[in-house]
């Protein structure tokens, strides 16, 4: 068999296996998991669970604007009816009264197991007398008058107690029977999707159903309505679309630009097609490695492939341009060691990322290592056989842009001065360089974030920041734990430290609590006797209270109240919003409401003191996010330093002579300085991914400065210079394309590494030993 | 010139005492009332109770739209009406209601507000008005025009003297009745 055919078959077979493995093993996902810690602390686990499966992630908020208030209200009603017909939503709320009637009926029916006021003392003669007196007095209040119809069934006033808990949070304003924004200009709705927040397909289907229903219904009421949707699900769907769009767009741009460069050099379709081999191999190897190691491949990782194209193509460039005159064997002998060293430094740089607890970074690292190694190996072993004899003209061609490359060394001293200026600038500005906020990494645009904020304030669904979390193995235990935590929070509510808290046990008490409350109810004959004495002299006589005695008798023998019994009510929504069941067991959230006024923060120490000795966790979501980001940043600093150290150490070991080491590394160090100063000057607040970009400048840039070192032996030739220039250009294009990304993670790497690679090349030419300039 | 003359003529006529006491006169007196503080006694006659309930407290009216009703016994409660916002404070809890969200409650509240402010137009929007008595001792009866309001209240009877309210009685659709007696305590 001819070597070319054999190589081609081996390559094709390897690619086929790789693609099949990817197809069968890889799951692609574009959700927040990219940013979530791989080994979370218990507090972070709560964060992760909430972001993946929490009920808040099912929230979809909608606003209808345009038209007039009456037609908006009618459209809001029609939309709600229509959406409830689809299977996408658990609930659609728009303020309609009828949906509240079911809650009231449930509360009334189960009041004796739900009300925290039900204790044996309350059903003594004195307790009954006090409770009835209160209820009667309450009739004088406009609020109490609402409960007049229930007085004879509920003379102890359990229903008002329960309703007060239900209405703890502010309701949106309403006009013409539906919820509206405070200015009345928008009708607002609040839906819960059936799909989990982490199920982006399900979220997308729900969004499409919402939009379709609006498109179908709104023309019946007028032609000037607009629909605004927002919520975690919409953000996830948008983010995925953005990343998908980025992958296609960036890959196309980077491919076209790189091929344009290659075409001006090669003028051969065959060589350009052959250049694809290392690229495709690199991408397949990268995705496969990530899929096998992590199972899930993040969309952002695939998007990063656009940058890797620029580097993977380098290896074919080196071979095509450098080996033209001397042949394969000579290339392998003379150039391959340098290429290999470049691969090694890149791999060491990327390897630092593998140790990151930030799963996105670890994936990028593995993807890059596998991609670079595969591309280099294909260029070394497969490409020469497939390409056959190469046209010598590629190596013979006079160096591109030789004139100004030759002129560069004259600028050495000014450049060193400039570097000093950049360093001073960085030192002076060091306080404002970094953005210490995880929102820097979010794909949510500021316009979308503002729309979301407006809808949240219209609907009164502000993000909760503080939670107490309890966990247990089963539902009964977790509800009991929640009740114990609630008991510890009560004193804080009583003394005004907290305005209040929510708990699912308000509407679904543990069976133990239900049993205790049931046991507090006296049997009918006894109750009637006590009522007789208790109501002595009160305006409400015992004779009118037969309905009360009947209800208490029924409650004594009623079955345990279960979640199923609450189905379809707001009570069930409240319970499921705060209860989470997954493979880690059961957990219950108790959101804390800060006391009114002040800065709406909560005295953390007092809550922690109140919970001390219990298993309940106090969590400040914002604090956790900030801490998470800070830990990523600390870790990234450490890993970057380790990566840079690994690259420098490799170079030191291989190059040996201090002079060569300085020649190779000085451009890298200066490039990092210039890029940091330049980005800050351009107004970019640096974050975690810029830092990683700096590491990549060192890891990738060392490839190019090494070729200038190679020329030091005096054996440099136009082919070396040309191939280095082309390789730098394609890499700068590959990474530079990422700067166009709408995904902040990719954009940051792009604006850092793209210019960085070019600067390394220029500085390498500038600080190359004198002898290279003798070639000028 | 002629218009100025006419105006002058009407201006001269206006202060003359009207032959009979009518709604227009009452409204003028109500508008002119400077507001102030008053004690109140509220008595509720409810079918479900054997005895009427009695609440006592103070109310403060600041024209044109602010009314505070502070119940002192049997239990403290403060009700504040300001613009379209009704807030109720009881047991350390504050409940705030946007009246524009509750058209029927708004119509009901507007009856009190309309009387206090002497806003005949607002009153006639929801009620038909019947006035009896004389300036020093008048009785104004409001009968709801809207069926939705009639489901809440059958009749509102207001008694007063000149611009000062003395008593309000609400007769509810279920037969229960509330009487509010007002005793001005002077001062703002």
Measured N-to-C along each axis, helices A69-85 and A200-221 cross at an angle, to the nearest 10 degrees, of 140
Q: Which residue of A lies nearest to B41 if distances are taken between CA atoms?
A: A140
Beta carbons within 10 angstroms of residue A401's beta carbon = 11
**Is B49–A540 a contact, with Cβ atoms under 8 angstroms apart?**
yes
Would you call B60 exposed, middle or buried from its count of C-beta atoms within 10 A (0-12, 13-18, 19+)?
middle
Q: Two tokens at A237?
A: 């769907």
Structure confidence at residue A512 as a pLDDT band (50, 70, 90): very high
Instruction: Work out how many CB contacts closer than 8 A connect A with B.
Output: 54
Contacts of A564 (CB under 8 A, 6+ apart): none
Q: Does A143 touch chain B (CB under 8 A)?
A: yes
Phi, then psi, of A536 in degrees rounded to 5: -55, 115
Position A170 scores a pLDDT of 60
Chain B contact set for A136 (CB, 8 A): 49, 53
| Cβ–Cβ under 8 Å, residues A230 and A452 | yes
Give the distance from residue A140's alpha carbon to the nearest chain B alpha carbon, in angstroms: 7
Chain A contact set for B93 (CB, 8 A): 164
Give the distance from residue B150's alpha carbon to the nearest chain A alpha carbon, in angstroms: 16
pLDDT over 90 (residue A529)? yes
Facing residue for A140 by CB, picked from B42, B88, B96? B42
Give the distance from residue B14's alpha carbon to the nearest chain A alpha carbon, in angstroms: 42
**Is B53–A174 a contact, with Cβ atoms under 8 angstroms apart?**
no
pLDDT over 70 (residue A662)? yes
What is the 8-class DSSP label of residue A123? G
Q: Which residue of B lies nearest to A496 if distances are taken between CA atoms?
A: B92
Please tell me whether residue A326 adopts helix, strand or coil conformation. coil
**Is A175–B100 a contact, with Cβ atoms under 8 angstroms apart?**
yes
Contacts of A606 (CB under 8 A, 6+ apart): A492, A497
Position A763 scores a pLDDT of 92
Alpha-carbon distance A308 to A313, whole Å?
8
Q: Which of A369, A354, A378 is nearest to A304 (CA)?
A: A369
Alpha-carbon distance A481 to A469, whole Å?
9
- Suggest the residue from B41, B43, B44, B49 to mutate for an interface test with chain A (most A CBs closer than 10 A): B49
Would you call A774 exposed, middle or buried from its count of C-beta atoms within 10 A (0-12, 13-18, 19+)?
exposed
Question: Mean pLDDT across the stretch B48-74?
Answer: 89
Q: Two tokens at A449?
A: 């974030």
Facing residue for B50 by CB, picked from A142, A151, A541? A541
Facing residue for A140 by CB, picked from B48, B53, B101? B53
Alpha-carbon distance A666 to A643, whole Å?
17
Q: Which helix (H) or strand (E) holds A262?
A: helix A232-266
Chain B contact set for A539 (CB, 8 A): 49-53
**Segment A619-631, tens digit of pLDDT:** 888 888 888 888 8
| Helix, strand, coil shares, percent, chain A, to 5 | 70, 10, 20
| Cβ–Cβ under 8 Å, residues B118 and B63 | no
Residues of B numbered 131-170 whose beta carbons fall under 8 angstroms of chain A's beta carbons: which are they?
A: none
**Segment A427-484, tens digit of pLDDT:** 999 888 887 677 777 778 888 888 888 888 888 776 678 889 999 999 999 999 999 9
Q: What is the CA radius of gyration of chain B?
A: 18
Percent of chain A whose pLDDT exceeds 70: 94
- Show the beta-strand stretches assigned E in A487-605: 498-501, 579-582, 585-594
Position B14 scores a pLDDT of 44
Alpha-carbon distance A366 to A296, whole Å?
13
Q: Does B75 touch chain A (CB under 8 A)?
A: yes
Please tell me whether residue A1 adopts helix, strand or coil conformation. coil
Give the distance from residue B50's alpha carbon to the nearest chain A alpha carbon, in angstroms: 5
pLDDT over 60 (residue A771)? no
Q: Does B71 touch chain A (CB under 8 A)?
A: yes
CA-CA distances (angstroms) from residue A441 to A24, A366, A436, A686?
Answer: 31, 20, 11, 11
Position A513 scores a pLDDT of 96
Q: Two tokens at A100?
A: 């509240």
Among left, alpha and beta (phi > 0; psi -120 to 50; other), residue A656 is left
**Is A136–B49 a contact, with Cβ atoms under 8 angstroms apart?**
yes
| Cβ–Cβ under 8 Å, residues A476 and A510 | yes
**Is A151–B79 a contact, with Cβ atoms under 8 angstroms apart?**
no
Q: Which of A160, A143, A156 is nearest to A104 (CA)?
A: A160
Give the distance from residue A168's alpha carbon to the nearest chain B alpha carbon, in angstroms: 9
Give the distance from residue B127's alpha carbon to the nearest chain A alpha carbon, in angstroms: 21
pTM higher than 0.90: no
**Segment B134-145, tens digit of pLDDT:** 888 999 999 998
| Cβ–Cβ under 8 Å, residues A209 and A83 | yes
Chain A contact set for B95 (CB, 8 A): 143, 167
Facing residue for A142 by CB, picked from B75, B88, B98? B88
Q: Does A152 touch chain B (CB under 8 A)?
A: yes
Position A219 scores a pLDDT of 92
Residue whose pair of structure tokens reads 């009041």 in the numeric block: A111
Percent of chain A whose pLDDT exceeds 90: 39
Please tell me whether residue A188 adopts helix, strand or coil conformation. strand
**Segment A300-351, tens digit of pLDDT:** 888 888 788 888 888 888 888 887 667 788 888 888 888 898 899 989 888 9
| Cβ–Cβ under 8 Å, residues A492 and A201 | no
**Is A539–B50 a contact, with Cβ atoms under 8 angstroms apart?**
yes
Q: Does A330 touch chain B (CB under 8 A)?
A: no
Lowest mean pLDDT among A279-288, A383-392, A715-724, B12-21: B12-21
**Segment A547-597, tens digit of pLDDT:** 999 999 999 999 999 999 988 788 888 888 888 888 878 999 898 888 776
Question: Mean pLDDT across the stretch A494-517?
Answer: 91
| Cβ–Cβ under 8 Å, residues A309 and A294 | no
Q: Which residue of B lies nearest to A183 if distances are taken between CA atoms?
A: B100
Position A203 scores a pLDDT of 93
Q: Does A136 touch chain B (CB under 8 A)?
A: yes
Alpha-carbon distance A386 to B74, whole Å?
99
| Cβ–Cβ under 8 Å, residues A198 and A52 | yes
Tell me the longest C-alpha to C-alpha distance in chain A: 117
Strands of B93-98's sheet in order across: B93-98, B85-90, B77-82, B66-73, B53-62, B36-45, B177-184, B164-172, B153-161, B137-144, B127-134
The number of residues making up chain A comes to 776
**Is A167–B50 a contact, with Cβ atoms under 8 angstroms apart?**
no
Please tell me whether residue A748 adopts helix, strand or coil conformation. helix
Alpha-carbon distance B73 to B60, whole Å?
17
Lowest mean pLDDT among A39-53, A195-209, A310-324, A372-386: A39-53
pLDDT over 90 (residue A711)? no
Q: Which residue of A lies nearest to B174 if distances are taken between CA atoms?
A: A149
Task: State the DSSP string of B20-87.
Answer: S--HHHHHHHHHH---EEEEEEEEEE-TTSSS-EEEEEEEEEETTTEEEEEEEESS-EEEEEETTEEE
Contacts of A30 (CB under 8 A, 6+ apart): A200, A236, A239, A240, A243, A244, A298, A299, A300
Contacts of A388 (CB under 8 A, 6+ apart): A4
Q: Two tokens at B52?
A: 């009427």
Position B18 scores a pLDDT of 45
- What is the distance in angstroms between the CA of the first residue and the CA of the last residue of chain B? 43
Residues of B numbered 84-113 whose beta carbons fall under 8 angstroms of chain A's beta carbons: which are they?
A: 88, 90, 93, 95-96, 98, 100-101
Chain B contact set for A170 (CB, 8 A): 96
Q: Does B178 touch chain A (CB under 8 A)?
A: no
Position B10 scores a pLDDT of 44
**Is B101–A174 a contact, with Cβ atoms under 8 angstroms apart?**
yes
Beta carbons within 10 angstroms of residue A333's beta carbon = 11
- Suggest the residue from B47, B67, B68, B98 to mutate for an interface test with chain A (most A CBs closer than 10 A): B98
Lowest mean pLDDT among A471-475, A572-576, B95-99, B164-168: B95-99
Lowest mean pLDDT among A139-143, A257-261, A468-472, B102-106: B102-106
Give the distance from residue A202's alpha carbon to the nearest chain B alpha carbon, in angstroms: 35
Alpha-carbon distance B100 to B107, whole Å?
10
**Is B101–A139 a contact, with Cβ atoms under 8 angstroms apart?**
no
Alpha-carbon distance A644 to A637, whole Å?
11
- Suggest the residue from B48, B80, B81 to mutate for an interface test with chain A (most A CBs closer than 10 A): B48
Question: Mean pLDDT across the stretch A273-288?
Answer: 92
Q: Two tokens at A331?
A: 């290339």
Structure confidence at residue A717 as a pLDDT band (50, 70, 90): low
Phi, then psi, of A708 in degrees rounded to 5: -70, -30
- Suggest the residue from A97, A145, A148, A596 to mutate for an interface test with chain B (most B CBs closer than 10 A): A148
Please tell me whether residue A473 adopts helix, strand or coil conformation. coil
């Amino acid at each position: 068999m001819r070597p070319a055919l054999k190589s081609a078959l081996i390559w094709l077979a390897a690619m086929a296996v790789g693609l099949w493995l990817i197809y069968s093993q890889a799951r692609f996902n574009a959700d927040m998991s990219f940013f979530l810690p791989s080994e979370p602390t218990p507090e972070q686990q709560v964060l992760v669970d909430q972001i993946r499966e929490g009920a808040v992630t099912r929230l979809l908020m909608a606003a209808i604007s345009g038209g007039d208030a009456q037609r908006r209200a009618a459209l809001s009603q029609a939309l709600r009816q229509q959406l409830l017909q689809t299977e996408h939503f658990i609930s659609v709320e728009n303020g309609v009264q009828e949906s509240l009637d079911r809650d009231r009926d449930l509360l009334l029916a189960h009041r004796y197991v739900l009300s925290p006021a039900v204790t044996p003392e309350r059903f003594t003669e004195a307790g009954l007398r006090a409770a009835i007196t209160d209820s009667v007095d309450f009739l004088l209040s406009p609020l109490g008058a609402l409960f007049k119809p229930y007085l004879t069934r509920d003379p102890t006033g359990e229903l008002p107690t329960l309703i007060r808990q239900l209405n703890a949070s502010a309701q949106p304003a309403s006009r013409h029977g539906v919820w509206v924004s405070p200015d009345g200009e928008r009708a607002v709705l609040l839906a819960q999707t059936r799909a989990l927040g982490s199920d982006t397909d399900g979220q997308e289907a729900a969004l499409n159903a919402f939009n379709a229903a609006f498109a179908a219904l709104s023309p019946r009421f007028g032609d000037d309505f607009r629909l605004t949707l927002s919520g975690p699900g919409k953000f996830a769907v948008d983010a995925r679309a953005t990343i998908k769009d980025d992958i296609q767009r960036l890959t196309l741009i980077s491919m076209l630009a790189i091929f344009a460069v290659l075409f001006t050099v090669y003028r051969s379709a065959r060589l350009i097609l052959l250049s694809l081999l290392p690229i495709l191999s690199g991408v397949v190897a990268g995705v496969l490695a990530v899929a096998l190691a992590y199972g899930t491949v993040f969309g952002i990782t695939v998007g990063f492939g656009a940058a890797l194209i620029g580097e993977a193509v380098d290896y074919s460039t080196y071979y095509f341009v450098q080996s033209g005159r001397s042949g394969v064997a000579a290339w392998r002998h003379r150039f391959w060691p340098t290429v290999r060293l470049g691969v090694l430094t890149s791999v060491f740089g990327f390897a630092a990322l593998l140790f990151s607890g930030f799963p996105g970074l670890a994936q990028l690292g593995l993807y890059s290592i596998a991609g670079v190694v595969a591309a280099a190996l294909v260029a070394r072993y497969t490409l020469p056989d497939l390409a056959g004899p190469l046209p010598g003209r590629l190596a013979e061609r006079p160096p591109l842009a030789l004139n100004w490359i030759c002129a560069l060394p004259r600028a050495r001293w000014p450049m060193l001065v400039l570097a000093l200026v950049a360093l001073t600038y960085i030192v002076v500005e060091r306080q404002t360089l970094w953005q210490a906020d995880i929102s820097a990494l979010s794909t949510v645009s500021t316009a979308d974030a503002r729309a979301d904020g407006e809808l949240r304030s219209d609907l009164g669904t502000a993000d909760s920041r503080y939670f107490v979390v309890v966990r247990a193995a089963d539902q009964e235990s977790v509800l009991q734990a929640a009740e114990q935590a609630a008991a510890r929070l009560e004193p804080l509510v009583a003394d005004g430290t907290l305005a209040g808290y929510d708990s699912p046990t308000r509407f679904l008490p543990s069976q133990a609590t239900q049993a205790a409350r049931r046991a507090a109810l006296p049997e009918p004959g006894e109750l009637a006797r006590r009522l007789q004495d208790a109501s002595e002299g009160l305006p409400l006589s015992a004779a009118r209270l037969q309905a009360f005695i009947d209800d208490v008798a029924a409650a004594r023998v009623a079955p345990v109240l279960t979640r199923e019994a609450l189905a379809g009510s707001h009570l069930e929504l409240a319970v499921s919003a705060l209860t989470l069941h997954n493979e880690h067991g059961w957990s219950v959230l108790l959101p804390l409401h800060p006391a009114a006024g002040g800065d709406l923060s909560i005295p953390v120490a007092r809550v922690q003191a109140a919970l001390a000795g219990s298993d309940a966790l106090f969590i400040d979501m914002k604090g956790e996010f900030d801490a998470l980001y800070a830990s990523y940043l600390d870790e990234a600093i450490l890993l970057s330093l380790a990566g840079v150290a690994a690259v420098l150490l490799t170079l030191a070991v291989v190059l040996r002579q201090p002079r060569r080491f300085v020649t190779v590394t000085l451009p890298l160090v200066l490039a990092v300085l210039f890029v940091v100063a330049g980005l800050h000057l351009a107004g970019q607040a640096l974050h975690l991914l810029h830092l990683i970009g700096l590491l990549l400048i060192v890891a990738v840039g060392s490839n190019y400065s090494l070729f200038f070192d190679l020329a030091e032996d005096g054996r440099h030739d136009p082919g070396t210079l040309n191939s280095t220039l082309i390789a730098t250009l394609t890499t700068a294009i590959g990474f530079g394309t990422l700067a166009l990304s709408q995904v902040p993670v990719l954009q940051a790497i792009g604006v850092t590494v793209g210019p960085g690679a070019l600067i390394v090349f220029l500085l390498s030419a500038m600080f190359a030993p004198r002898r290279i300039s003798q070639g000028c | 010139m002629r218009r100025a003359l006419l105006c002058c003529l009407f201006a001269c006529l206006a202060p003359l005492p009207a032959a009979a006491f009518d709604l227009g006169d009452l409204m003028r007196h109500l508008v002119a009332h400077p507001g102030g503080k008053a004690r109140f006694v509220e008595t509720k006659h409810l079918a479900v109770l054997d005895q009427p309930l009695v609440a006592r407290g103070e109310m403060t009216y600041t024209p044109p739209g602010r009314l505070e009703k502070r119940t002192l016994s049997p239990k403290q409660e403060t009700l504040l009406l300001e613009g379209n916002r009704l807030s109720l404070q009881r047991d350390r809890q504050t409940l705030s209601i946007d009246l524009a969200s509750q058209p029927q409650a708004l119509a009901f509240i507007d009856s009190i507000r309309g009387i206090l402010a002497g806003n005949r137009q607002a009153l006639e929007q929801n009620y038909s008005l019947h006035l009896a008595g004389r300036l020093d001792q008048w009785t104004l009866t409001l009968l709801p025009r809207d069926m939705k309001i009639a489901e809440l209240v059958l009749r509102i009877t207001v008694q007063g003297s000149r611009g000062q309210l003395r008593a309000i009685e609400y007769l509810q659709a279920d037969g229960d009745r509330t009487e509010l007696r007002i005793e001005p305590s002077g001062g703002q």
